[in-house]
Structure 1
Amino acid sequence: MAAPHLLLLQWLSLFFNFIIFTNIFFFAAAQLPGTWELLLPNAGIASMHTAVTRFNTVVLLDRTNIGPSRKMLPKGHCRNDPNDEVLKRDCYAHSVVLDLQTNTVRPLMILTDTWCSSGQFLPDGTLLQTGGDLDGVKKIRKFTPCEANGRCDWEELTDVELVDGRWYSTNQILPDGSVITVGGRGANTVEYYPPRKNGAVLLQFLAEAEDNQMDNLYPYLHLLPDGNLFIFANNKAVLYDHQGNKVVREYPPLDGGPRNYPSAGSSAMLALQGDYSTAVIVVCGGAQYGAFIERSTDTPAHGSCGRIVATEPNPVWQMEDMPFGRIMGDMVMLPTGEVLIINGAQAGTQGFELASNPCLYPVLYRPDEPVGLRFMTLNPGTVPRLYHSTANLLPDGRILVAGSNPHYFYKFKAEYPTELRIEAFSPEYLSLDRANIRPVIEGIPETVRYGAVFEVVISVSLPVVGMVEVNLGSAPFSTHSFSQGQRLVKLAVTPTSPEESGRYKISCTAPPNGKVAPPGYYMAFAVNQGVPSVARWIYLVS
C-alpha cells in the first residue's frame, strides 16, 4: 500500500489536473463561434411545429389535447371537445403567432388535434397543415398569415379532408404548386392537395421500410431538380415519380441503421447551384436500433452521416462522423449553403421521456470542405432541447430555437421540463467583427418570374471583394427533427458592379422552373464573403 503522503500527492495531482482540464474546457467553450440570446422567456406553449411567415412572424403549434398551456385564448373563446382526455372545455391556446419585432405572442385558435402532423406553405404564402391524431387525423387546416398586428387565425376546412388518416406524415410542395403528403402511421400511401382524382395511392416502398419500431414515419422528402422526389425511410431511399405514381429508382441502403422516427436522425438537401442538375442529400445521426422498443434512455446515439449525390447514375453513400452522437438534431440550411445541426440528445430515442444527455453543442456542416474537416463545433447553449423541439432560419440570419416537451402533458418539475422559452442562435457570420462586410439589400423586385433577369442593389460599408451571392431560402415547416420543404437555391449572378460609394448592383437570373424552386415566397439573401444580409421576401412565379 502506498504511503499516506504519496496518496495525498496523487490525489492533489488528480485534483489539479481536473481543475486545469475544467478551465481549458470552459475557456474553449467560451471561445467557440456563435452566440445565444433569449427572445422570449415564456411563449405560453411548447412548440412541436414551427414555421416562419413572409410577414416576419412565426407560427408556433402544439397538440390540442395537451391539457392547460400557459397562454389563455381571448375571453369567450374556448374549444369544446367531449373526447378530450383532460379538458372538455378548453380555453387555453395551443398555437400562437410570434412577432419578431416585439418578441410578443398572440394566441391562435386551433380546433382539432395537431399532434405529430405535417405542414407546408402554398404558393400564395398560406400555411397548409394536415393530419394529426384523434379528431385531427384526416383534417386539413390553413393559416393565411398577416401583418403582426392583424387578426389572422387558423381555418379548419370543412369541404375537404384527407383520404387516409395522417399521423407522422411529411409534406412537400411540388413544381406546380400542389402539395404531396407522404406516409404516416398505418398509411403507406401518398395523396395531394388540392386532391387528385385518384385519391390516396399506395406506395409499397413505405410498407417495405416499416419494421417493429415503425422507422418509416416522418419520411424525408426532397424535391430533386429533375422534378422527382427523393424519399428516405428507415435506411432506404427511392426516386419517386409523383406524376406517374411509380418508383423509378432504388438507392443503396445507408449504413448505420434506421434514421427516421423514432430513430431520430435528420436530413437536408444541400444548396442547388450552377446549372441545377446536381442534388446532394445528407442524412445524419440517429438512435441505435432497438432503443425505442426497449424504452432505453441511455443507449448512446450514433453520429454517422451519409452523403449521396442523388442525381448521379450510380450513386453511393459517402460516410463521415459528426463530433457528437446525436438524436433529434435539426438540420437547418443557412443562407451561405452551410448546414447547422442543433438541438437533440446523445442517448436514447424519440418518444416521451426516452432520451438523456442533451447535446447542447450546435455543429456547423461545411459541405465544400474535404471529409474529416466538414464539421465545426459551435458555442453550446444552456437549455436542453429534446423531444418536440424545433429550429428555423429567420430572415435576419439567426436560427429560432423553440419547444422541447419530452412528457405526455406539460411538466415543469422534471429533469428535462417542458420548455416554453424561445431562443435565437447567431452563427459566426453575425459576429461584430464582420458587421462592416454585411450587405444591406437596398432594392429588389417583389415578384420575379422563372428565368427572368433582375437586379439587386446592395450597400456595404467596406469595398466588396469578389462575387456577392444572391441566394433564395424557403420557409419550411419544422417538426420532429426534419424541416419539410426546406430548400436553398443559389442564383446565377454577374460580377458586382459599383454604383456609387458603398452601393453595388448585382444582375441575377431567377431559377428556370418550379422543379428547381417551387412557386411561392422565398427569403432572398445577399451574401458577401460568407456574411448574409437581412433577407427580403420575394414572390417567385411562372
Structure 2
Amino acid sequence: MGSRTTWSSAGLMGSSFTALSCFLGFQFMVSLLLSSLQLQVVEAQGAWEVIVNNAGIASMHTAVTRFNTAVLLDRTDIGPSQLPLPDGVCRNDPNDEASSSTYDCTAHSAVLDLGTNTIRPLFIQTDTWCSSGQFNADGTLVQTGGDNDGFSKIRTLDPCAGDGDCNWVETDVPLQNGRWYATNAQLPDGTQAVVGGRGISTVEYVPANGRGTTYIPLISNANDAQNDNLYPYVHLLPNNQLFIFANQDSILYDWQSNTVANNLPTLPGGPRNYPSAGSSVLLPLSGFNGWTDTEVLICGGATYGAFLNPGAALPATQSCGRISPLDANPAWALENMPLQRNMGDMLLLPDRNVLIVNGAANGAQGWGNAQNPVLTPVLYNPNGAAGTRFQTLGATDIPRVYHSTANVLPDGSVLVAGSNTHQFYTLTGYLATELRIERFSPPYLGNGAGPVIANAPAELEYGAAWTATINNGNAEFIDLSLLSAPYSTHSFAQGQRLLQLETAVPADVGGGSYTVDTTAPPSSVIAPSGYYMLFAVSDGIPSQAQWVHVG
C-alpha cells in the first residue's frame, strides 16, 4: 500500500527486477530498458493491480471504513458464494429465490482488510439486492431495503479493524415504505433521507424524524416503461436543500418542509439513471469562495430502449451535463467524454479531479444487458477549459459492468470490485461473475513522494481554526481537503463529498516541515457530521489520508 509505483497487468505480466536479473548480458539490458519504458507509461496513465484473486463474493455494494477496511455486500438469494461462513454458521431463509440459498453456509458480505488484502466473511440474513446505504455521524454504516425479506429492513454495521469481530445487525424497526433501488443522503440533523425506489415515489427519514413520508412526482415510475428514475442522484447542497435528479430531470427539494423548492431544466441526451445509468458527482466545494460555488456533474447513460431491447445493444451516451443548481437561471452545459459509457462510476479524487471508471459502451443495466465493456478510465479536470477537461488513462483487462463498484482509498488509490451481469453466479463465459478485486493507482501516485501529514487533530469542531503540520510539501501552497467515505452501488457513490479547506500560505518551520493554518467547515450543512479522509495535496500529489471526525 505504501508503494508509489505499481505494474500494469496489461504490461510485462509478472515482470520485476528480480525476474529480469535472471537474464544475462545484452538480453538483460534490453529487458531492463523495456521494463523501464513500460514503467514510465504506467506512471503517466495510472496502474492496475489485482490485490485479491478471489474475494468469494462479487461486491454489489462497497464502502470504505475508518479502520482501513472495506465492507463488501452482495445479494443473499444468488445461490452459494465462493466464501464459506465459519463452521456451524448458516442462513436458513425459505424466502430466497434460489432454492440453493434457502439453507446456505456461505457468506454474502465480507470485510476486506486493506493492509493485508485478506477477507473476513460477515453474516447477513435478509436480502440486500439493490439496496442503499450511508454512514451515520458516529461511523455506523446504515443499510436500507432490498428485495424479498429485505424490502423493509434497516441493518447496521459498526465497523472494526480487520482482525475484529464486528458483524451486521438486523434492526427491529422497519422502513416506513419498503425500498428497492433507492438512494440515501445524510442530512445536517443526523438523519438520512431515503429517496425513491421501485414502485415507491416518496422520501422518508431514517431514523424517523417526525416528517413522515412525502410523495415526489419526479421519482414516480408511472410514465416510464423502463423505470429510468431508480437510484436517483441525491446531493446535499450548501443552501441546505437536496438536489434530486431522476431520468433527465431534477429538482431542489426542501427536506425540512418536504416541498419542492425549484424545478430545474431537463438534461438533454437521454435517460441517466438506473437502468440506463450514467453517474453523478457534486463537484468539490471550497472554503476559498465561502462554500458557495456549487456545481453538479452527470456523465453517461444509455439510449432509451436499451433496457427494453437488450439484444439491440444500443450505444451508451457520450455526453456530460454540468449545472450550477443554485444560480438564478440554472442551465446545463454539455460536453462529450472521449468514450461513450454507461454504468460508469464517478469518483472525486484528492486532487479535486474526477475519475470515471467501469461500465460498458452498449446496452444497459440488468441481467445480460451489457455489451462491449469500457476498460479505459477517464480523468475529468473540473477547472480546465471546456474542450480540454478529459484525459484517458491506462486500461485494465478485467471488465466491470453491472453490479461493479469503485471507492477512493486513504492512500489516494481506487478500490475496484464486483461485476455480475447474471442472475446467479456464473464463473465462466462472456462477462463472467467477477470475484477479483483491483486497485487502480491514478497518475499522481507515480509522480514521486507526496506530502506527509505529520500532525493534525483527530476531531474537527465546526468553524474552529486549527493548524496542520505537513512534511515534504511545497513552500508556496499545500491543499487540505476532506473526502467522505460514500456507499458505492449501481454507478453512484451515495454521500460522496469533497471539501477544500481555506488555507493560509504554509509557514516553513525547518527540516522540510511546514505548518498550514486552516478552519474546519462551518456547519453540518457543508459537512454532515461523520468521519472523513483528510488529504494534504502538494504539487498535485496526495498524502496518505488521516481519518478525522467532523462535527
By how many angstroms is 1:32 displaced? 5.2
Aligned to 1:36: 48
Contiguous gaps of at least 5 residues in structure 2: 1-37
Paired amino acid for 1:148: G
Residue pair 1:302, 1:325 contacting (<8 A) in 2 also: yes
Counterpart in 1 of 2:13?
none
**One-letter amino acid matched to 2:168:** W
Q: For 2:223 and 2:471, locate their aligned partners in 1 and report how far apart those are by CA, in whole Å.
A: 52
C-alpha distance in 2 between matches for 1:239 and 1:145? 33
CA contact (8 A) 1:341 1:364 kept: yes
1:45-194 alignment to 2 at 5 Å? 45-84=57-96, 85-86=98-99, 87-158=101-172, 160-194=173-207
1:25-424 to 2 correspondence within 5 Å?
33-84=45-96, 85-86=98-99, 87-158=101-172, 160-207=173-220, 211-273=224-286, 274-296=289-311, 298-424=313-439
Q: What is the aligned partner in structure 2 of residue 12 from structure 1?
A: none
Equivalent residue of 1:296, what SS? helix
Q: Which residue number corresponds to residue 487 of structure 2?
A: 477
What residue in structure 2 maps to residue 430 of structure 1? 445
CA shift in 2, pair 1:27/1:96, >3 Å: closer
Deviation at 1:208, TM superposition (A): 7.1
Distance 1:100 1:123, change over 3 A: same
C-alpha separation in 1, matches of 2:228 and 2:434: 26
> Alignment RMSD, CA only?
1.5
Matched, 1:453 2:504: no
Q: What runs of 5+ residues in structure 1 fail to find an aligned partner?
A: 1-25
Select the residue among 543, 547, 550 that pairs with 1:540. 550
User: How far has the Cα of 1:489 moved from its partner?
Assistant: 0.2
Could you give the per-residue CA deviations for residues 463-503 of structure 1, whole angstroms, max 9, x where no partner exists? 62421010000000000000000000000111111112111
Structure 1 residues 249 and 209, CA gap change in structure 2 (3 angstroms): farther
Distance in 1 (alpha carbons) for counterparts of 2:310 and 2:409: 35
Give the superposition deviation at 1:297.
Answer: 5.3
Q: Report the CA distance between 1:31 and its aligned residue.
A: 7.9
Whole-Å Cα distance in 1 between the matches of residues 402 and 41 of structure 2? 25
CA–CA distance in 2 between the matches of 1:306 and 1:63?
A: 32
Identity of aligned residues (%): 54
Alignment CA distance shift 1:425-1:30 (3 Å) = closer
Distance 1:467 1:252 in 2: 38
- Deviation of 1:233 (Å): 0.2
Between 1:85-94 and 1:361-370, the stretch displaced more is 85-94
**What per-residue deviation string (whole Å, max 9, x for no partner) do you get for residues 24-76 of structure 1?**
xx999868510111111011100000000011100000000010100000111
Relative to structure 1, the CA distance from residue 208 to residue 71 in structure 2 (aligned partners, 3 Å threshold; closer, same or farther) is: closer
CA distance in 2, matches of 1:27, 1:336: 22
Give deviations 1:240-291, integer Å, cap 9, x for gaps.
0000000010100000011000011100010001210121000000110011
Q: What is the TM-score normalised by the length of structure 2?
A: 0.91
Amino acid at match of 2:508: P
Cα distance in 2, alignment partners of residues 384 and 189 from structure 1: 35
1:284/1:213 Cα in 2 relative to 1: closer, same or farther (>3 Å)? Answer: same
Letter in structure 1 aligned against 2:545: A
State the distance in 2 between where 1:142 and 1:176 align.
19
Give the Cα separation in 2 of the matches to 1:324 and 1:464.
35
- Contact 2:346 2:492 (8 Å CA) reproduced: yes
Where does residue 502 of structure 1 map in the other structure? 512
| Contact 2:475-2:507 within 8 A present in 1 as well | no
Deviation at 1:197, TM superposition (A): 2.6
Q: Is the 8 A contact 1:459 1:504 kept in 2?
A: yes
Give per-residue Cα distances to partners, 1:192-216, cap 9 Å, x unaligned. 0111334222112222785110011
CA distance in 2, matches of 1:536, 1:336: 15
Label 1:209 to 1:363 Cα distance change in 2 as closer, same or farther (>3 A).
Answer: farther
CA–CA distance in structure 2, aligned partners of residues 464 and 281 of structure 1: 30
Amino acid at match of 2:242: L
List 4+ stretches of structure 1 deviating above 3 A.
26-32
Q: Give the number of aligned pairs.
A: 510
Q: 1:286 to 1:124 in 2, by over 3 A?
A: same
